[in-house]
Chains A and B, each alone.
Chain A
């Protein structure tokens, strides 16, 4: 499994590398000292796993994740940091505290290996490099809160000015993106532009009704009702029929 270490301190990178020596399944392909380096290195190497420090000069670890389209598996490696620990409460990813306890590292690596199979599907292929599929993980940050979520759990996206509200589980964080640019990045077989304001996940559709002006209204599991504009309704019928 290809992995990258991202930490601004050389000694911290060295220490982690030496701890990772004994795991033959993990191949450290690069080390980066800041978010900028990391961004281009991730682009080059497409690692499946990154070890990420949070406090770094320039952009911090969270901001780096925010800039990635395909988020690899992430293990945070950080010194005591209340802010970080608070963020972890919200999601299920793993983190290690410095100095790293070798037994905890064992557990973290085991966890990553277990989840490997589902992840390998989303390793970008030639054609799919530019589309996000439902198996991709995304990283969301709204104020102090952070989430890792699989795209298949996202039932819809709503445009709010320059922002997009992402609906998943009981959360709906706001991220700085336009709905149009998001639409271009999403797999059109699963994510459908219902109208000016919404993109919906077709796998979440539980009911369809005829609506005014030749439009449709779909109901999503969980109860949200979204109108499909007349222009899009024809495309929708095409997509959903045999």
Chain B
């Protein structure tokens, strides 16, 4: 009897300790993924190039120069604040993406053509913050900025009953050959975040066809309401 008690007590403690270690590990992984995400968001190359174009615009077109400063501030603020939240509304995310695209258009001018479309029924659906933004940045960095004549980038958000679908497509090819490392980090991070938050219920695909690169995410709908 006593022996049994000791035996079960031992196993009980052993199990709870293992459980605790597992939880801590998961927690650490979460923190690391979020940290990587934040790091990849504060893209200094984008910031400094934008400020440089704005400086030239001050002489050329003061109105757009002022607008651009507001947009850049929005992006900075959102990157700092949204990064701390677990989930944000898709409409909030898309307004950040639009600000970002307008700024990149100031920089790339006619080389960047962009379109953002969302079915109104998607308003209120929650997504991990900066997830669409990361994909759009990747599309510009690895796609459009490599093309002398530029290209287009389209963001399309739609839904079914249970799933939200986000698709980002840009002109370009999926050649990791010139800089395989950088293509990997943003993508791996997106995958990890989806896995941690949705535990296998979200999907992420990246593929090239017809001279375009498509990034496609589906995730279960969680509502704001």
A98 beta carbon closer than 8 Å to chain B: yes
Please measure, in the bound complex, the distance between the C-alpha atom of A33 and the C-alpha atom of B145, giving whole angstroms.
13
B residues in contact with A33, CB < 8 Å: 148
Which of A8, A11, A100 gathers the greatest number of chain B CB atoms within 10 Å? A11
Give min CB distance, A100 to chain B, whole Å: 8
Size bracket, chain A contacts: 20 to 34
Q: Let me know if A213 is at the binding interface, CB within 8 A.
A: no
CA distance A79 to B51 in the complex (A): 10
Considering the complex, give the chain A residue whose CB is closest to the CB of B43: A80
Write out the residue numbers on chain B whose beta carbons fall within 8 Å of the beta carbon of A36: 148
Is A9 within 8 A of B48, CB to CB?
A: no
Interface size of B as a range:
20 to 34
Q: Within 8 Å of chain B (Cβ to Cβ): is A222?
A: no
- Whether the pair A11, B106 counts as a contact (CB closer than 8 A) is yes
User: With an 8 A cutoff between CB atoms, is B156 at the interface?
Assistant: no
Interface of B is mostly: helix
A18 touches B59 (CB 8 A): yes
Contact of B52 with A10 in the complex, beta carbons under 8 Å: no
CB atoms of B59 and A9 under 8 A apart: no
Q: Cα distance A80–B109 when bound, in Å?
A: 21
The residue that B53 contacts in the complex, of A12, A55, A58, A81, with Cβ under 8 A, is: A12
Any B CB within 8 A of the CB of A225? no
**Whose C-beta in chain B lies nearest to the C-beta of A97?**
B48
13 pairs of residues in contact across A and B, judged by CB atoms under 8 Å? A8-B148, A9-B108, A9-B109, A11-B53, A11-B57, A12-B53, A14-B56, A15-B52, A34-B148, A57-B145, A80-B45, A99-B51, A99-B55
Which A residues are within 8 Å of any B CB, using their own CB? 8-12, 14-15, 18, 33-34, 36, 55, 57-58, 79-81, 97-100
